[in-house]
Structure 1
Amino acid sequence: MSTLGFLTGGARRTATATTRRPLGTRGGRVAFAALAVLVLLALLAPVVSPHSPVLRSGAEFLPPGSSGHPLGTDGLGYDLLARVLYGMRASLFAAATVIASGVLIGGTVGVLAGTLPGWADSLLMRVTDLFLALPGLVIAMAVAASLGASYHSALIGIAVVWWPMYARLVRGEIRAWSARPHLEAARLAGLPWGRRVLRHLLPGVRPTVVIAASLDVGSLVVALSALSFIGLSSPAPAPELGAMAAQGMPYLLTSWWVPIVPAVAVMLLALVANYAGDAVRDLLRRR
């Protein structure tokens, strides 16, 4: 909205219409609807596909569109639809878990660094900078490999390198909000540290953290798929999208759907999550 002191009638109507849109734009609504559909499909995987993701349910290499197997089967006769849906569920759960741990650990470090005296801020930020200076995916691979290939090892490996971004983000926001007049007034009035943080600082930081978390979903889906692609997640026959694509690569020229279907699922999930994150960012910035 313009800050020149006046709004024309058309501009006023445009601003009012924008603030009344629940998701901002048509693209934002489409992105949220698509993400909701993917999440529901993943949660309702046993209903959508009656086949087990780890038990043989048909002949090998049935093409997409086969009776009872809409996405076909792989070289072991596993139903690809069931495996993709369960793989999407695992990817979404992993992304949510890593984001939650990143917000909790990184947010705590950021709040402490932004509100405590200078020596504490310097110490916490130097540790954070150390993690940020290291190649994240390489460190995640090293951690997952040292713990042994498993789903939980992949989660821990990604979580170890994900929290510093939230720490740096929250610390910057805390410092910006602490410089505002009402925070200075609260400090001079003797409001305790805990109440200043809970009542004045965290509510101001929350929108930025929500935006960052929503934009991280797609990146985490790709990162976790990369770890499973190189064999650092659950061993076969666990339904993980990256591992499924890797295991199907030898059949790319003869049975293309075996590696392509899980790869397309990763791309679709990451793409929709990124568009939904952009919509969240635009919505909160307007508000």
Structure 2
Amino acid sequence: MLLSYLLAAATLLALVFGFYRYLTADARRQRAALAAPFPGHWRELLLTHVAFYAGLEEAEKTRFEQAMQLFLARTRLTGIQTEVDDLTRVLTAAAAVIPVFGFPGWEYPTLHEVLIVPDAWQLETSPDQEVQPLQGTLLGSVQGFQTSQYMRLSRAALVQGFADAEDRHNVGVHEFAHLVDEADGQIDGVPAAVLPPALRQPWAEVMHRELAAIRAGHSDIDSYAGTNEAEFFAVVNEYFFERPEKLQEHHPELFELLSQAMHQHPEQTLGARPGHLDPRQWLRQLRANKKVLGRNSPCPCGSGKKYKDCHLAVNQDA
């Protein structure tokens, strides 16, 4: 009888310990990720390819790196007919961090895996669907599976999105902006999880006014934003994080609302208050760096071409 009690107690303890390990697995992964030193060659990749990171002060660079480590500890990256190399890993994590860098400790709780594919793919449709989705070629997507989500990203588009830091196109930032939008339970263009209640009505009014202008062909915002409210939010995030000064010039109300929603306050001194940044700081840093570039210097976009043969003309027009 005593032996039976002892066996039952041991079994119960094993079950309790196993359950405890399950509940604390994420916390242990986070501690392990933060305890590991940030790879030096990843830092070089960030400085070369991610202008947002390069424009941060040193303390904020460290926070950015830690956020990347936590994201990669929680999220599986899987290559589909392509290799998940260090550049892919760094750019995916950077794209995840940029939209939520104003929110220290932010997690994408439902995202479990990012599938990396070589290039664009055709949208799959079923002829027996009552409502057909939009037709076309995709560079990224977020899809649900039961209670989880997975993202699909074109590696070619991901790299290209960071190659030109001022072209207002970044597919990685676009897709992670959809997850910010979805944090309140639905992807509808109203990011209620980050938008204070007092700003939701002004946001809706500005969004629909901007959508009308886009659909009428009277806006410099990419026409894809006119697809629906969800795509509008994702596209203007690309604009906001790649050309903040231009967005502020042409769409001041939209810029101000995004600054508040994403905790990127232009009047705050960078680093003075964690999570409240100037989205234009990296742009100033990028342009300051251009002053020391010669025509025959390697282009900072990482293409391997000379500056004069790559982005010189584009930057002169910026």
Q: Under TM normalisation by the shorter chain, which class is it?
A: under 0.3
More strand per residue: 2
Structure with the larger RCO, 1 or 2 (CA within 8 Å, 6+ apart): 1
Structure with bigger gyration radius = 1
Higher helix share: 1
TM-score by length of 1: 0.24
